């Protein structure tokens, strides 16, 4: 099989590219290295900024690929400040990749969407059809991108899937609560500032379970457009997450709660997130780890990596 992985030098993309190469598939990684640093041996690497439509239009790549579009800036907090910058990183880049898919007769298209599209969901666990409205710019841009993907699926016959991912952890996590809290505790192990009231409740998914979800939809493309949730069946409160990190680090700091009003950690922070994954399970996928197991394993991965190579 032949795949193009955008954002393939980043966290999820590098795991995916490695997995695909290890199975003997042909992989082209497209990334501008704005935040990603990983190079996959055996994959072709093309450096381009996907916001630049003219540069994307000149790319010399073979047709008939399955395109897995992961390039984006996943920082929810920053999307509330640098709104236009985030729009281009998330929406303009997606449109340019869809044009690439159209011009190069993509076999299928997989888009990395997010659980944030549901905002403050009314129904928990949340089904794909339970969309209300996002509460962050990042969430809105993901939903706008999904609409573009759907439009291209309908207008140009590209078989497309949007995967709405829960919080992904494990291996090389470089952003999110685990590296943030570990960094804070390394500076001061006696006190920990927790963003929000600690009762926000979120679902986690281990990186290998995300890779298997992507592989399932790549191998079973469907005519038209579909959105599928990817997550585990349980969730953790932020306080429980902090407890797990402290246990693994062998420390007992005093917790101090700070952040936006309403118990949220920041503007756009979703308070409760748990996804109904019946749709993906019907395709034969199920996660090997619960949120609790995934979170603890990810903490261990990161602490072990920090011991080996400080800084990353
Ligand atoms: N990590 C999570 O918990 C999570 C959850 C839900 C959805 N997602 C989505 O999954 C995808 C991958 O996330 P990640 O955690 O691996 O992020 P990441 O930041 O580690 O990787 C993103 C990659 O995209 C590249 N990139 C960014 N803008 C680009 C541009 N304009 N042109 C070319 N390359 C560009 C970066 O250099 C980086 O290598 C993103 O779309 C993200 O929104 C991630």
Domain boundaries, the chain: 2-168+204-230, 171-202+234-273+289-308
Render pLDDT for 131-190 as a digit per residue (tens, 0 to 9). Answer: 989 999 999 999 999 999 999 999 999 999 999 999 999 988 778 899 999 999 999 999
**C-alpha–C-alpha distance, residues 135 and 264, integer Å:** 12
The structure tokens 């409740």 sit at 201
**C-alpha–C-alpha distance, residues 216 and 301, integer Å:** 25
Pocket test residue of 9, 10, 17, 268 for ligand 1, highest count of atoms within 8 A of CB: 10
pLDDT at 312 over 50: no
The finding on whether 168 has its CB within 6 A of some atom of ligand 1 is: yes
Q: Is-contact 27 3, C-beta < 8 A?
A: yes
Atom 43 of ligand 1, nearest CA residue:
74
**C-alpha–C-alpha distance, residues 271 and 291, integer Å:** 16
Q: Are 2-168+204-230 and 171-202+234-273+289-308 in the same CATH fold?
A: no
pTM of the model: 0.96
pLDDT at 199 over 90: yes
Q: Is-contact 280 166, C-beta < 8 A?
A: no
Percent of the chain's residues with pLDDT above 70:
98
Burial group, residue 26, by CB count within 10 angstroms (0-12, 13-18, 19+): middle
Q: Supply the DSSP string of 226-240, one letter for each residue.
A: EEEEE--S--EEHHH
Query: Domain 171-202+234-273+289-308: what homologous superfamily?
Result: UDP-galactose 4-epimerase, domain 1 (3.90.25.10)
Which candidate, 207, 75, 204, places its Cα nearest to that of 141? Answer: 75
* Ranges 4-8, 62-66, 263-267: which has the least confidence: 263-267
Give the per-residue pLDDT at 311.
37
pLDDT at 122 over 70: yes
Which candidate, 276, 241, 73, 85, places its Cα nearest to that of 164? Answer: 276
**C-alpha–C-alpha distance, residues 250 and 190, integer Å:** 12
Q: Which atom of ligand 1 is nearest to the CA of 35?
A: 37
Give the per-residue pLDDT at 307.
66
Give the per-residue pLDDT at 1.
94
Backbone angles phi, psi at 229, to 5 degrees: -75, 145
Instruction: Report whether the peptide linkage leading into residue 267 is cis, meaning its omega lies within 30 degrees of zero.
Output: no
Q: How far apart are the first and last CA of the chain?
A: 32
Give the per-residue pLDDT at 308.
58
Does residue 280 or residue 305 have the better pLDDT?
280
Render pLDDT for 19-35 as a digit per residue (tens, 0 to 9). Answer: 999 999 999 999 999 99
Render pLDDT for 260-297 as a digit per residue (tens, 0 to 9). Answer: 778 998 888 999 999 999 999 999 999 999 999 999 99
The finding on whether 93 has its CB within 6 A of some atom of ligand 1 is: yes
Please count the residues of the chain.
312
The finding on whether 13 has its CB within 6 A of some atom of ligand 1 is: yes
The architecture (CATH level 2) of 2-168+204-230 comes to 3-Layer(aba) Sandwich (3.40)
The finding on whether 231 has its CB within 6 A of some atom of ligand 1 is: no
């Amino acid at each position: 099989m032949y795949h193009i992985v955008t954002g393939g030098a980043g966290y999820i993309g590098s795991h995916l590219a490695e997995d695909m190469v290890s199975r003997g598939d042909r992989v082209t990684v497209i990334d501008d290295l704005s935040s990603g640093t990983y190079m996959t041996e055996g994959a072709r690497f093309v450096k381009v900024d996907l916001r630049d439509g003219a540069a994307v239009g000149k790319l010399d790549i073979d047709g008939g690929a399955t395109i897995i579009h992961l390039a984006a800036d996943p920082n929810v907090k920053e999307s509330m400040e640098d709104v236009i910058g985030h729009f281009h990183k998330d929406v303009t880049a997606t449109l340019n990749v869809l044009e690439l898919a159209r011009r190069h007769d993509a076999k299928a298209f997989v888009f990395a969407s997010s659980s944030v599209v549901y905002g403050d969901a009314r129904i928990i666990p949340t089904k794909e059809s339970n969309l209300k409205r996002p509460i962050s710019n990042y969430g809105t841009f993901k939903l706008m991108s999904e609409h573009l993907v759907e439009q291209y699926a309908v207008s140009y016959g590209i078989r497309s899937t949007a995967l709405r991912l829960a919080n992904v952890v494990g291996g090389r996590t470089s952003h999110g609560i685990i590296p943030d809290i570990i960094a804070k505790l390394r500076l001061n192990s006696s006190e920990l500032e927790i963003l929000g009231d600690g009762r926000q409740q979120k679902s986690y998914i281990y990186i290998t379970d995300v890779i298997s979800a992507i592989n399932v939809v790549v191998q079973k493309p469907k005519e038209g457009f579909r959105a599928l949730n990817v997550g585990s069946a349980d969730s953790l409160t932020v306080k429980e997450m902090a407890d797990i990190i402290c246990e693994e680090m062998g420390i007992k700091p005093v917790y101090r709660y700070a952040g936006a009003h309403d118990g949220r950690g920041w503007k756009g922070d979703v308070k409760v997130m748990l996804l109904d994954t019946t749709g993906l399970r019907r395709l034969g996928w199920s996660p090997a780890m619960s949120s609790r197991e995934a979170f603890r394993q990810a903490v261990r991965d990161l602490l072990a990596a920090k011991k080996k190579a400080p800084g990353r």
